[in-house]
Structure 1
Amino acid sequence: MTHLPYIVGAYAVFVVVLGWDYLATALRIRRELRLARQRAERAQARPASRDDASTELSR
């Protein structure tokens, strides 16, 4: 009686889960960096607001 198929299967599942964890994290980091760059570009493209208008609403 050999346990080789069980051991090979367990290692295969481990490698697949480890690979998926790495890939999902890398994709999430790329997406967050892209979104941060887009926010920074929008903030730069926005016209500069006056200091007094940004702190209190005018009547």
Structure 2
Amino acid sequence: MSYQNYVIAAYAVFAIVLAWDFVSSRLQIRRELRAARQRAARQAGQAGARKPTGELSR
């Protein structure tokens, strides 16, 4: 009895899961960076709108 097909299937599943883990983490990092940039832009816009023009900030 040969286990070659089972071994090939196990390696294929391992490779697919490893690739999915890599891709999904990259997508999550990209999504979090985009959210952080948008949050920083919103905060910068709000800070600029709240700041009086004739006063120094503390």
Higher relative contact order (CA 8 A, sep 6+): 2
1:6-54 CA distances to partner (integer Å, 9 max, x unpaired)?
A: 000000000000000001100000000000000000011112358xxxx
Three-state SS of the structure 2 residue aligned to 1:36 is helix
TM-score of the superposition, structure 1-length normalised? 0.79
Q: Note the 1:22-37 alignment, pairs <5 A.
A: 22-37=22-37
Three-state SS of the structure 1 residue aligned to 2:50 is coil
Unpaired runs of 5+ residues, structure 2, are 53-58
TM-score of the superposition, structure 2-length normalised? 0.80
Runs of at least 4 residues off by over 6 Å: none
Between the aligned residues of both structures, percent identity stands at 48
Unpaired runs of 5+ residues, structure 1, are 51-59
* Cα distance between partner residues in 2 of 1:48 and 1:33: 26
